């Protein structure tokens, strides 16, 4: 695809000399920010150019340029780092960012508020700690997810090994990253420099995860590609290869969709990495490069159908693709609190609200974690629910962790309500350029109100995933939640219902354009019915599905849906 048919980002990639552009020149100039083409290329290096949107209007009125800063993202396959690396990242946050760390929903870390003059020092510092930011963003394979619980058994260990191998297999080969950020020797850009991605990379982001049939803690169905390990008697027999998931869509655009991945077939264990590479190659060669709203792999699957995609995969594969293994619904574990490792030691899961590691009044999580990691030197693992696991502890270490957290006002997992424990929110305003509404800043007060309501209904411990996003792009995976609030404009949200902890079905639009202050009121009657009519340990999404008489698992949601609020029956379906 060339000329007018290409999107502007495709042109920037093709002319960018394998991600170089004019980044190095602008980095050392007096300019406060980068131009369009370079901002597109910067994402591949792991950073987004942003500005303070709280200040934008006043600066425009004063005819002053935007208050630019950068978000820097660290790619951490399966979310595993050492205690020393955690302390290095904490120091970088203090010296070069806004003093906070944010655990992402893809098991990485983000820094916010990095100024242009600090950008190179921040990225170089991350690399000195033997971590990287390359391909944490951009039209490449993103951070590879995998269950981070250090249970020590063979299947969990294998998942992490495959995740790490995948990250290396599809990491960009260009030397541009080393030239720009690590003062590497400059090289002439040639086609041979990027043998897999070539000069255009992928049409769009490409999210992968390695999951387990015993625990869907990585939300495997939401990925572009998932390797779902089939575990029997403690060993992996192979992988169900899942393709075509993705949760981003556009409001009022019926041709944009959130979609769950579907099984392509069964892959022998030794061919798992090759299988993902093949899917990426098909996407590279056939994905949409003219309209970025339709450029994800899920749209190619929708256009071709699974049969044609399977045929193309088999044509390219060096191994036989078998039929996918039929599985029951996957269980889910958040790994919070104390747990035994197979070596007799312990790990402890710490709840991190919205993934933000920060000290606030009466809640000094950042200080508590600093003291714990400095004293105990545990391993650190990040989860897909934006939480943090401290690993390799003895029994005294567990006591130290709980004592230190409690002393700094951090709520222990056993004391959390279900709605708070299973909540997630994206950063949204004031940093994200795509946000149209609040999310991370709004969810604490919203959770307080929901907790009070659910406590009064006797539902404090009832399973309920509540997720909030500032736009419809789905970063906090709202469309698989029991209950989700997705920003429509500054004070309006679409309310979605019907997902659940398992992450294996999508939601319905319950009501559109609800003001922030009316979000709880909108679902209060349904919460009351859930309390009165729920069946055993039934979650809210399960109850909604039963109430509506829904039997089929929903796998696609469009950007334009009819609300179901007026369709709720007076009597529950049995």
By DSSP bridging, strand 346-350 and strand 80-81 are unpaired
The mean pLDDT of 477-490, rounded to a whole number, is 98
Quote the mean pLDDT of the chain.
96
Specify the pLDDT at position 1: 42
* Residue 75: φ, ψ to 5°: -90, 120
How much of the chain exceeds pLDDT 70, in percent?
98
**CA 105 → CA 53, 353, 356, 380, distances in Å?**
23, 12, 11, 16
Specify the pLDDT at position 342: 87
**CA 165 → CA 168, 270, 539, distances in Å?**
5, 12, 37
pLDDT in tens, 298-326: 999 999 999 999 999 999 999 999 999 99
Residue 430: is its pLDDT beyond 50? yes
Q: Which position has the higher pLDDT, 545 or 152? A: 545
* Residue 122: φ, ψ to 5°: -65, -50
Specify the pLDDT at position 314: 99
> What confidence tier does 571 reach under pLDDT thresholds 50, 70, 90?
low
How much of the chain exceeds pLDDT 90, in percent?
93
Nearest to 182 by CA among 229, 133, 147, 144: 133
Please give the torsion angle defined by the CA atoms of residues 232, 234, 238 and 240, in that order, rounded to the nearest 10 degrees.
70
The residue ranges of DSSP E strands in 361-497, in sequence order, are 363-364, 379-382, 388-393, 424-425, 466-469, 483-489, 492-497
The mean pLDDT of 519-546, rounded to a whole number, is 97
Quote the CA–CA distance of 225 and 209 in Å, as a whole number.
7
Structure tokens, 551: 């039997």
Quote the CA–CA distance of 68 and 27 in Å, as a whole number.
14
Contact 358, 369 (CB under 8 A): no
Contact 428, 472 (CB under 8 A): no
Residue 2: is its pLDDT beyond 50? no
pLDDT in tens, 325-357: 999 999 999 999 999 998 999 999 999 999 999
pLDDT in tens, 110-141: 999 999 999 999 999 999 999 999 999 999 99
The mean pLDDT of 63-87, rounded to a whole number, is 98
Residue 89: is its pLDDT beyond 90? yes
Residue 574: is its pLDDT beyond 60? no
Quote the CA–CA distance of 93 and 51 in Å, as a whole number.
18
Specify the pLDDT at position 3: 44
DSSP H helices, 28-68, are 36-42, 56-61
Q: Which position has the higher pLDDT, 196 or 157? A: 196
Specify the pLDDT at position 155: 87
The mean pLDDT of 7-28, rounded to a whole number, is 97
> Looking at the annotation, which residues are catalytic?
73, 142, 205, 207, 426, 432, 471, 475
Residue 4: is its pLDDT beyond 60? no
Q: What domains lie within the chain, and their CATH numbers? A: 3-182+203-316 (3.30.413.10), 337-416 (3.90.480.10), 419-567 (3.30.413.10)
CA angle (341, 347, 348) in 5-degree steps: 145
Nearest to 329 by CA among 219, 239, 216, 478: 216
> What confidence tier does 572 reach under pLDDT thresholds 50, 70, 90?
low
> What confidence tier does 235 reach under pLDDT thresholds 50, 70, 90?
confident
């Amino acid at each position: 695809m060339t000329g007018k048919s290409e999107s502007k980002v495709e042109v920037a990639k093709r002319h960018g000399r394998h991600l170089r552009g004019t980044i190095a020149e602008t980095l050392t100039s007096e300019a406060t920010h980068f131009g369009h083409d370079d901002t597109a290329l910067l994402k591949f290096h792991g950073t987004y150019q942003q500005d303070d949107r709280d200040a934008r209007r006043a600066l425009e009125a004063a005819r002053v340029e935007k208050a630019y800063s950068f978000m820097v993202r660290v790619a951490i396959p399966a979310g595993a780092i050492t205690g020393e690396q955690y302390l290095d990242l904490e120091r970088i946050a203090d010296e070069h960012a806004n003093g906070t760390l944010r655990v992402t929903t893809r098991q990485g870390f983000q820094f916010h508020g990095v100024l242009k003059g600090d950008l190179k020092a921040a990225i170089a510092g991350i690399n000195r700690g033997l971590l990287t930011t390359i391909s944490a963003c951009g039209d490449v394979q993103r951070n590879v997810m995998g269950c981070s619980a250090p249970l020590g058994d063979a299947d969990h260990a294998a998942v992490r090994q495959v995740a790490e191998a995948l990250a290396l297999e599809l990491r960009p080969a260009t030397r541009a990253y080393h030239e720009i950020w690590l003062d590497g020797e400059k090289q002439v850009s040639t086609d041979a420099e990027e043998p897999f991605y070539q000069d255009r990379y992928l049409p769009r982001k490409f999210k992968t995860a390695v999951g387990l049939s015993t625990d869907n803690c990585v939300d495997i169905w939401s990925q572009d590609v998932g390797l779902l390990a089939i575990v029997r008697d403690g060993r992996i027999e192979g992988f169900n290869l899942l393709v075509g998931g993705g949760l981003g869509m556009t409001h009022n655009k019926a041709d944009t969709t959130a979609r769950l991945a579907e099984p392509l077939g069964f892959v022998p264990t030794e061919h798992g990495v090759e299988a993902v590479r093949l899917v990426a190659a098909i996407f590279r060669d056939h994905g949409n490069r003219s309209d970025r709203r339709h450029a994800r792999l899920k749209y190619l699957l929708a256009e071709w159908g699974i049969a044609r995609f399977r045929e193309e995969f088999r044509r390219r594969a060096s191994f036989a693709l078998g039929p996918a293994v039929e599985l029951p619904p996957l269980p889910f574990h958040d790994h919070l609190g104390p747990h035994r490792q197979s070596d007799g030691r312990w790990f402890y899961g710490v709840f991190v609200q919205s993934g933000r590691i920060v000290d606030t009044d009466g809640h000094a999580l950042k200080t508590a974690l600093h003291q714990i990691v400095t004293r105990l030197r545990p391993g650190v693992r990040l989860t897909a629910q934006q939480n943090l696991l401290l690993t390799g502890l003895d029994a005294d270490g567990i006591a130290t962790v709980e004592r230190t957290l409690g002393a700094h006002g951090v709520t222990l997992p056993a004391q959390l309500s279900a709605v708070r424990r299973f909540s997630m929110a994206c950063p949204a305003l004031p940093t994200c350029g795509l946000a149209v509404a609040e999310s991370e800043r709004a969810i604490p007060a919203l959770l307080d109100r929901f907790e009070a309501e659910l406590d009064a209904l006797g539902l404090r411990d009832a399973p309920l995933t509540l997720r909030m996003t500032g736009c419809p792009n789905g970063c906090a995976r709202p469309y698989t939640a029991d209950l989700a609030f997705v920003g429509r404009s500054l004070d309006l949200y679409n309310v979605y219902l019907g997902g659940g902890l398992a992450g294996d079905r999508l939601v319905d639009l319950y009501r559109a354009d609800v003001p922030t202050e009316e979000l709880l009121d909108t679902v209060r009657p349904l919460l009351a019915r859930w309390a009165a009519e729920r069946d055993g340990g039934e979650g809210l999404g399960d109850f909604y599905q039963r109430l509506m008489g829904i039997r089929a698992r929903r796998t696609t949601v469009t950007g334009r849906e009819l609300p179901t609020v007026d369709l709720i029956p007076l009597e529950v379906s049995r």
